[in-house]
Amino acid sequence: MKLTVNGAVTGVDADPDEPAVRTLRDGLGLTGTKLVCGTGVCGACTVQVDGVPRASCITPTAALADREITTVEGLGGEHPVQRAFAAHDAMQCGYCTPGFVVEAAAFVDGWRVEHGDTEPSREQIAAAMAGHLCRCGAYQGIYAAIAAACAGRHDEPAEPARVDAAAKVTGAARYTTDVRLPGQLEGVIIRSPHAHARVDAIEANGVPLVDLRPADGVVRYAGQPVAAVAAADHAAATAAAARVEVSYTPLAAVTEFGSALAEGAPLVYDTEESRKSALSSAEGANLPGRWQGNLHTTSGLPLPGGGTAERRIERARRRGDQRLVSAVYTTAVQVHSALEPHASVARFDDAGHLHLYISTQRVSAVADAAAERWKLPREQVHVVAEHVGGGFGAKANLTADAVAAVELARLTGSPVRVVLDRAEELTDGGSRPGSRTELSLLADERGRLAALTVDAQGDGGASTGSSVGLMARLMYGTAPRRIRDSDVLTNLPPGAPFRAPNGPQLAWALEQAVDEMAHRLGEDPISLRRRWDGNPKRRALYETAAALPLWTGRPATGSAAGRFRRGVGVAAGNWLYMASPKTQVELTVERGTVVARSATQDLGTGLRTVIANVVREELGLPADRVRVEIGSSDHVPGPPSIGSRSTTSVGPAAHDAAVRLRTALREGAGTAGREAPVAALLDGADGLRVTGRRARDRGGYLLPFSVADAAIGRGMSGAVHVTEVEVDTLLGSVRVTRVWGGLAIGRVYAQGPARNQAEGAIIQGVGYALFEQRRADPATGVLLTDNLEDYHLPGIGDTPEMEIHFHPDGWEYVTGGGVGLGEVSAVGVAASVGNAVYNATGWRPLDLPIRPDRLLEGINR
Amino acid sequence: MSTTAPTSLDGVAEALASGGRPRAGGTDLTVLHRLGLARGPYVDLGGVAALGGVGWRADGSARIGATTPIAEIAADERLRAAYPALTATAAALATPQVRAAATLGGNLLQRNRCSYLRNPHFSCHQSGGTGCPARTGVHANGVAVDQGPCVAPHPSSLAMALVGYGATAETRARGTLAVADLYGDGSDPTRDHLLPEGEVLLAVDLPVPEPGERAAYRRATARTAAEWPLVEAVARLVVTDGRVRAAGVAAGGVARTPLRLTEVEQALIGRPADAAVLAAAAALAAERCRPLPQTGYKVGLLRDTVRDVLERAAEQG
């Protein structure tokens, strides 16, 4: 059929009933248009049809006939909305950006015709963008960008807030899902329909197939990979997968957290062998522990004073002490759902080298793992992740998509791409384990913390590795405490590390308990934390927070009347500071430009911008004289984007490299060059190359050794969130209206992206607090929330007004003076929402998410 | 036979007679097709001019063609003046992109959103199987008025609003019938509307507008937008000298069919439009509920959503 796309008439061989997004991407190669949800919910596939935005995943290709189609590529790059998105940093990973931009372009153009160059309200922008989702949570920048573009403030080019903004707003940024290699086949993973079964046989029936069965041949959740097949395109691969016969012997399954510990419950892992190789939601190796049926209790380091804590709490309980706060708090399973799904494209070249394009947070570690798994010399493995559409912790390993792609490429001799669809991503793409935490907190007669006990059970499906209680060891001084962590195993998809693993689960319990204690003691919750919390950096944040009008103007708890009730809550966050000591950044002068390289990646955090900023600042160079090339394992060693350690590792290495480059340039230029600006010396220095390293922190790290280049540094990073909500007591909804986020992370390397990431943590926390909940069918263990209509991500209309405050002091001993913020900024948000709901209603929510039905039941009880 | 795009009603009838399936905006059919829950060949209705647009009769009443996009209904000034409950509902459902593409007819005749129906691992009454896995499984979004074997609430917000107007539908073979009769009593678990295959919805006819009608629509959701309602309700009131002269109240999200709440209307007509009367009338909505184990919360939520729309409708003017 003939289509008019971006002003040109093109012929394309397309099925008129296929979603238009497939025709545009696969048929015409217009990969700026992204396919994410497939159900018209997220808007990443938005194109204009005769000027009207349409979700192309729910538009049959037939509907494009005789229409003018405009994709993001057709906007050119100079549309005021594109400039505004770049200037206001209205993006992180960038995967949703083309869809937002295409919709916003139509909105802004229409607005200016109708209203002139004026600013629409937040509500008007939210209504116009209601069909879009940004998992990173860059909504604050999106509001600002659209308002400014409507007001006519971006009719001229402006400096972008991040160096890859232009690529992201034009659709030029290439993600793994966009990779097209000559002769590339499409791979599809065959997954178990059973929650628990033994795979007896796989009959390929002539289809090229690789076996992905677990070592013991037992699948332990519905959706677990069993095999993978490849064919010329997606439709053919799906048809090939249907020809494969897998025979299973179904085993009894346990699909509910609540019944996994019942007597006679089927065992998820029933042999010593299977327990040793159990799946894990933790980074790295399995945590050692003790098994009793489906209960796995982690053997943590025992704490001195554990017995004292237990005895004090038991005695307080017996005497009915009001200063004992004791409750059970639960959190739901939260799914990562990065908008770019897990995706891999593998190719073996004629020399036997493996080229693996993969949506990953760890190009280096994935290359190491691939070399080991397929017994290749490390230098023959080349891992590429040019742009990464979000990860949040779930894209750190050689996941099933990668294994399938590599093995199918080896089997077929052709490049093979494997991209998870949204149902697969929401099922097997990673999740934050749920939790059930019984927490008791006792204050003495002078209001000091006297004892703390935590009994936490992780709800990570078929994975162990939950350690919710860990952070309770490291906060609120040294009062006696007893912490116990365990996992309750079920036949449900396993967890994965998720931005501050275990942090929000613990904060939901601990920070609400501290709030409750303040209430019992008749003390201001910030003032109580100031007394209890020994962390000097966080104490500085408490000072600032206590003086906020938002805080001083908060209502007395339960004093609000009427249908809509306002409340304000506070919560603290605590996190480890980690770094990658082996990080290097290499600078090369190429045709007058400084090119920075490191084997790291940018999944939306702004790492490219961090490197560019440091080099530009140190050398006094304009933007067009510095280029950053990351996302390749072939570069000098760089950090993974996990553990909040990429910026604090790369920043100092880039600085060191810049200093070395200036020295080398000046040496090369002799006496004449001693005073010359660096820019003037670049033209004569083609090929000059230096390597910068991250110097050791003053005083070294907490531990003298590091595992997998992860050094645990000295000192904890801190956060404080002050959150305002409005509760509709009639219909049960909670709106988070304002949030102040204070972060004690020292130097901020890139203001825009740092602020953006901290705001995104708030958005994700709002989702965690109010909307996000994975649900499974109890009879089969099949997930019902395997689509974005049933799994609820926060939208732009759910975005509070946010203010981010960076406290600069306290990290002077750290090389570069700044630490990571990705995780600490995410820890306490949901707890602050819980405390705000309590302040508004007098009812304390113990279970996440705070759904309307739970709220209504709670306040009407 | 492949997908066709006839330009006349006769052409549509011919294509349907040879086994085609009508497609309007395709916003849901494209998803169902991908999931294997719908199969072509499709008969695209967009080319039939007679099926689209808003027309007005001499008596001031409107006729809305089946393929009129929802966004067009929401933005039509004259419709907004005459039928504010309809346009308020149209403006609030789904997202701008869906409203731009989806049509009145498609909205009225769409499939429900039960996650079991749309998951290929399950079969149920609606997908040719027997039984309802949601009834024994997760049905927290299910019905609170248990009318029959299937527990999925009717998905059409516009159907609810039109039932609240007592609107009629015109179909090609059957002629005129009440919009409510498109759905029956909810006891048939196999489908979401009762039109036979091959039938075409042509238009919806609204009654003569009530001068002075005040209206309000509400969908109770957790998020601010883009979410299927837990409960939704719409109210139309004509208040003269402080008394309710006419009322139309309907609710969705609680039953297999859109519900007109005549008991609530009866309790309002002739009474003062004050808070006590509105609350007492809204409370009657709860009486017809027979919730499932996980939908008990919808009983109170239905009552309070109805109360919300009654209060907001009464406040206007």
What are A114-161's pLDDT values in tens digits? 999 999 999 999 999 999 999 999 999 999 999 999 999 999 999 999
Answer whether B304 sits within 8 Å of A730, measured CB to CB.
yes
Amino acid at A106: A
Tell me, yes or no, whether B85 and B159 share the same domain.
yes
User: What pLDDT, on a 0 to 100 scale, did the predictor assign at position B317?
Assistant: 59
Beta strands in A285-350 (DSSP E): 289-292, 295-298, 324-331, 334-335, 343-348
Single residue among B11, B27, B47 that ends a domain in this structure: B47
Domain assignment of residue A264, yes or no: no
CA B152/CA B291 separation, integer angstroms? 12
Tell me, yes or no, whether B74 and B199 share the same domain.
yes
How many domains would you assign to chain B?
A: 3
Q: pLDDT tens, A528-584? A: 999 999 899 999 999 999 999 999 999 999 898 999 999 999 999 999 999 999 999
Answer whether B226 sits within 8 Å of A770, measured CB to CB.
no
In the numeric block, which tokens belong to residue B282? 């809204």
Answer whether A731 sits within 8 Å of B5, measured CB to CB.
no
Element (H, E) at A682: helix A678-682
Tell me, yes or no, whether A651 and A762 share the same domain.
no
- Out of A342-356, A664-678, B3-17, B119-133, least confident range: A664-678
- Out of A711-715, A735-739, B165-169, least confident range: A711-715
Tell me, yes or no, whether B53 and B43 share the same domain.
no
Across chain A, mean pLDDT equals 96
Tell me, yes or no, whether B53 and B197 share the same domain.
yes
Which residues in chain A touch residue B221, judged by CB atoms under 8 angstroms apart? Answer: 733, 852
DSSP per-residue codes, A592-640 = TEEEEE-B---SSS-HHHHHHHHHHHHHT--GGGEEEE-SBTTSSB---
Tell me, yes or no, whether A632 and A775 share the same domain.
no
In the numeric block, which tokens belong to residue A846? 């113990």
Cβ burial of A687 (10 Å; 0-12, 13-18, 19+) is exposed
Tell me, yes or no, whether A667 and A687 share the same domain.
yes
Domain assignment of residue A478, yes or no: yes
Residue of A54, A731, A795 lying closest to B101 (CB–CB): A54
Closest CA of chain B from A41, distance in Å: 7
> Contact A441/A369 with Cβ under 8 angstroms?
no
State the pLDDT confidence band at A337, using cuts at 50, 70 and 90. very high
Tell me, yes or no, whether B79 and B163 share the same domain.
yes
Domain assignment of residue A94, yes or no: yes
Dihedral angle, C-alpha B304, A776, A37, A753, nearest 10 °: 90
Tell me, yes or no, whether A131 and A110 share the same domain.
yes
According to DSSP, the β-strands at A481-488 and A295-298 are antiparallel
Tell me, yes or no, whether A769 and A848 share the same domain.
yes
Looking at residue B249, which CATH number applies to its domain? 3.30.390.50
Answer whether A770 sits within 8 Å of B222, measured CB to CB.
yes
State the pLDDT confidence band at A669, using cuts at 50, 70 and 90. confident
Chain A 783-842, residues with CB within 8 Å of chain B CB atoms: 784-787, 789-790, 792, 794-795, 797-798
Tell me, yes or no, whether B235 and B160 share the same domain.
no
CA B216/CA B207 separation, integer angstroms? 18
Host domain of residue B113: 48-205
Q: pLDDT tens, B197-229? A: 999 999 999 999 999 999 999 999 999 999 999
With tokens 């003495």, the residue in question is A444
Answer whether A733 sits within 8 Å of B220, measured CB to CB.
yes
State the pLDDT confidence band at A513, using cuts at 50, 70 and 90. very high
Answer whether A131 sits within 8 Å of B96, measured CB to CB.
yes
Single residue among B205, B233, B267 that ends a domain in this structure: B205
Tell me, yes or no, whether A746 and A826 share the same domain.
yes
Domain assignment of residue A48, yes or no: yes
Answer whether B30 sits within 8 Å of A775, measured CB to CB.
no
Domain assignment of residue A41, yes or no: yes
Tell me, yes or no, whether B271 and B294 share the same domain.
yes
Which residues in chain A touch residue B29, judged by CB atoms under 8 angstroms apart? Answer: 60
Single residue among A467, A499, A517 that ends a domain in this structure: A517
Would you call A58 an interface residue with chain B, using a CB distance cutoff of 8 Å?
yes
In the numeric block, which tokens belong to residue A854? 């739970």
Tell me, yes or no, whether B65 and B137 share the same domain.
yes
Tell me, yes or no, whether B190 and B61 share the same domain.
yes
Residue of B119, B305, B307 lying closest to A786 (CB–CB): B119
Single residue among B156, B182, B205 that ends a domain in this structure: B205
State the pLDDT confidence band at A322, using cuts at 50, 70 and 90. very high
Residue of A103, A130, A852 lying closest to B222 (CB–CB): A852
CB atoms within 10 A of CB B312: 17
Which residues in chain B touch residue A45, judged by CB atoms under 8 angstroms apart? Answer: none
Domain assignment of residue A178, yes or no: no
Tell me, yes or no, whether B6 and B70 share the same domain.
no
In the numeric block, which tokens belong to residue A210? 């690789």
Host domain of residue A550: 524-576+712-860
Chain A residue nearest residue B117, CA to CA: A784
Mutation for testing the A interface, residue in B21, B224, B232 having most A CBs under 10 Å: B224
A325 φ, ψ (degrees, to nearest 5): -105, 120
Tell me, yes or no, whether A532 and A569 share the same domain.
yes
In the numeric block, which tokens belong to residue A320? 């009915």
Nearest to B43 by CA among B67, B65, B69, B72: B67
> Contact A9/A25 with Cβ under 8 angstroms?
no
SS3 per residue for A215-282? CCCEECCCCCEEEEEEECCHHHHHHHHHHCEEEEEECCCCCCHHHCCCCCCCCCCCCHHHHHCCEECC
User: What pLDDT, on a 0 to 100 scale, did the predictor assign at position A1?
Assistant: 87
User: What pLDDT, on a 0 to 100 scale, did the predictor assign at position A483?
Assistant: 95
Tell me, yes or no, whether A307 and A376 share the same domain.
no
CB atoms within 10 A of CB A704: 7
With tokens 């003037």, the residue in question is A680
Tell me, yes or no, whether A561 and A688 share the same domain.
no
User: What pLDDT, on a 0 to 100 scale, did the predictor assign at position A167?
Assistant: 98
Looking at residue A282, which CATH number applies to its domain? 3.30.365.10
Tell me, yes or no, whether B106 and B173 share the same domain.
yes
User: What pLDDT, on a 0 to 100 scale, did the predictor assign at position B249?
Assistant: 98
Closest CA of chain A from B267, distance in Å: 21
Tell me, yes or no, whether A721 and A616 share the same domain.
no
How many domains would you assign to chain A?
A: 5
Chain B residue nearest residue A858, CA to CA: B297
Tell me, yes or no, whether B28 and B52 share the same domain.
no
Domain assignment of residue A179, yes or no: no
User: What pLDDT, on a 0 to 100 scale, did the predictor assign at position A295?
Assistant: 98
CB atoms within 10 A of CB A499: 24
Tell me, yes or no, whether A764 and A638 share the same domain.
no
Q: How many CB pairs under 8 A join A and B?
A: 160
Q: pLDDT tens, B61-72? A: 999 999 999 999
pLDDT tops 70 at residue B1: no
Which residues in chain A touch residue B101, judged by CB atoms under 8 angstroms apart? Answer: 54-55, 58-59, 63
Tell me, yes or no, whether A47 and A148 share the same domain.
yes
Answer whether B101 sits within 8 Å of A59, measured CB to CB.
yes
Answer whether A126 sits within 8 Å of B225, measured CB to CB.
yes
